[in-house]
Amino acid sequence: MEKRNTKQKEKIIKILSRKENHIHPTINEIINLVSKEDKTIGQATIYRQINNLVQDNILKKIPTKDGFHYDIKTDLHSHFICQKCNRLIDLYDSNYQKIINELQNKYSLNIIEANIILYGICEECNDKV
């Protein structure tokens, strides 16, 4: 069955694509963002569309200790989560793909997706200590 691009789906993508919304929101935060802008899109539709966007690799679902967060940036990168303020930070490194390739070769794997999450204290929280 072919998936359709609905107006609701396009509206959700547009909202999450705005730079100020690149905050790795939870599903509840996405519901709030969408509801502020378009009260006609119901919660069930938002849940369904978010699941579709994850399946279509338009959104990345990030498992964290406090539930799932979503990332509109699906290019190859990892994440850092501050254990004090819970901020989720994108990490880009040119060695990331090299590490994945080495693991594939060493263990004869076909890695389809990688999700590396590092935990620690961010610079802002470190400065407060």
pLDDT > 90? residue 102 = yes
Greatest alpha-carbon pair distance for the chain in Å reads: 55
Residue type, 69: H
pLDDT > 90? residue 33 = yes
**pTM score of the predicted model:** 0.86
User: Which domains does the chain possess?
Assistant: 7-71 (1.10.10.10), 78-128 (3.30.1490.190)
Task: Tokens for 74, please give them.
Answer: 């699906």
Confidence of residue 5 (pLDDT cuts 50, 70, 90): low
Residue type, 98: K
Contact 74, 60 (CB under 8 A): yes
Please give the residue that has the higher pLDDT: either 66 or 79: 79
Contact 120, 82 (CB under 8 A): yes
Confidence of residue 29 (pLDDT cuts 50, 70, 90): very high
